[in-house]
Chain A
Amino acid sequence: MAGRAQIPTSNSALIAMIADEDTITGFLLAGVGNVDIRRKTNYLIVDNKTTVKQIEDTFKEFTNRDDIAIVLISQYVANMIRFLVDSYNKPVPAILEIPSKDHPYDPAHDSVLSRVKYLFSTESVASDRR
């Protein structure tokens, strides 16, 4: 792929999260929560009131920030913005799809595995999904 940006090396980059309340609570207990001077957090709690637009905007914001190394996103949330997640191809931040309480991990939907599945199949990823 031509024109790849250099990886921004960092000593204290953040882990961002787009997930349900319990997952966020757990990771905040593990010390990853950050609130900057603009009162912006590095997480978005997704519940039944969260709109797809909010999720999309948050995903775009997290993937464009220089201080974020990894974006954790529950797979069921990633499925809501699948086109956006699949079209993301930067090395940093790394997008990792994780299971949630009510939605176990499905490797068939993982964007990274879908990308490399192409290596084993003569069909394109898009045609597999049809």
Chain B
Amino acid sequence: MAEIESDQLQRASLDETKVKNEDEEEEECILQFLDSLDAYLTLVDSLSSSLRQGWFDLASARQSMGHTLISSKLFDHKVHSASTTINITELDADNPSDPKPQFSLSKWATTKENPSSEVPNNSNLRHRAPTSVLEDGEKSNGTQVSSVVSNDIQKERSKSLTIFGGLVSPKLRTAQVSFETALDKIVEIANARSSMLSSFSQLQLNKKSSS
């Protein structure tokens, strides 16, 4: 009799622990969702500021260079690849029912049409901004490598500007920087969106399983 009671108590205690763990997991999921939601809204607000600055600089450039010199009619329609691209990796590939893509920006990758710049041994370095090259701890060769990478990036930046002519207004360069900043925020927003939707679908699953 005492054994049966002890078993029952043990089972009740295990059930209680299980429920407690499930509650904790759900709370963690809710927190993750709310964090992602907050990050999403904050980043969108920040994006709006960067875009406003970019539009303002573009308008200033148009005023100094002339409306006909900054127009969509000048866009390059020859075959060319984007210099700034996105890398997609999948977080938690072991859970195919809850895909969570992770986006990262690859700015100003040099194109294959420009083989004149020296290629560093690690080809990944060609796709990174100078600051991340130095963060790798390769400071002894970093100065040479970073200057090569920096020159490549400057060449790609200038190529984007030359569609509007050889001599462009400084405001157009400032607009370029504003839109580059906007791109950084867009990638962060994409990641916040991915995290938010992932936590949301997890919460929906928990809701269905508990009802």
Contact = CB atoms under 8 A, between A and B. Distances in A.
Interface of A: 1, 4-15, 21-37, 39, 41-42, 45, 69-70, 72, 91-92, 94, 96, 98-99, 101, 104-105, 107, 112-113, 115-116, 119
Contacts of A22: 55, 58-59
Size band of the interface chain B makes with A: 35 or more
A37 B79 contact: yes
Contacts of B40: 112-113
A32 B183 contact: yes
B21 interface: no
Nearest to B203: A119
Interface string B85-121: 1111110000011011101001111000000000000
Given A15-B84, A42-B82, A107-B41, A31 B107 contact: yes
Given A28-B160, A29-B176, A119-B203, A94 B103 contact: yes
Given A13-B86, A35-B77, A69-B86, A26 B44 contact: no
Contacts of A34: 80-82
B70 A25 contact: yes
What 6 A-B pairs are tightest by C-beta distance, nearest first? A31-B83, A31-B84, A69-B86, A26-B179, A34-B82, A30-B179
B86 A91 contact: no
A111 B191 CA distance: 16
Contacts of A15: 82, 84-86, 183, 186
Given A29-B172, A72-B186, A116-B196, A9 B75 contact: no
A77 to B, nearest CB: 15
A28 B76 CA distance: 10
A37 B81 CA distance: 10
Contacts of A113: 37, 40
A115 B140 CA distance: 51
B102 to A, nearest CB: 9
A32 B82 contact: yes
Interface centre among B37, B90, B156, B193 (most CB of A within 10 A): B193
Contacts of A1: 97, 201
B10 to A, nearest CB: 37
A33 B183 contact: no
Interface string B168-209: 000010011011101100110110011011001101100000
A4 B99 contact: yes
Given A33-B80, A70-B190, A4 B72 contact: no
A14 B85 contact: yes
B88 A13 contact: yes
A125 to B, nearest CB: 13
Contact of B51 (A31, A42, A99, A107): A99
B39 interface: no
Given A35-B76, A35-B77, A119-B203, 19 more contacts: A8-B88, A10-B88, A11-B85, A15-B186, A25-B70, A28-B160, A29-B172, A30-B84, A32-B83, A32-B85, A39-B77, A42-B82, A91-B194, A94-B194, A96-B190, A99-B47, A107-B41, A112-B196, A115-B200
A11 B72 contact: no
A14 B172 CA distance: 23
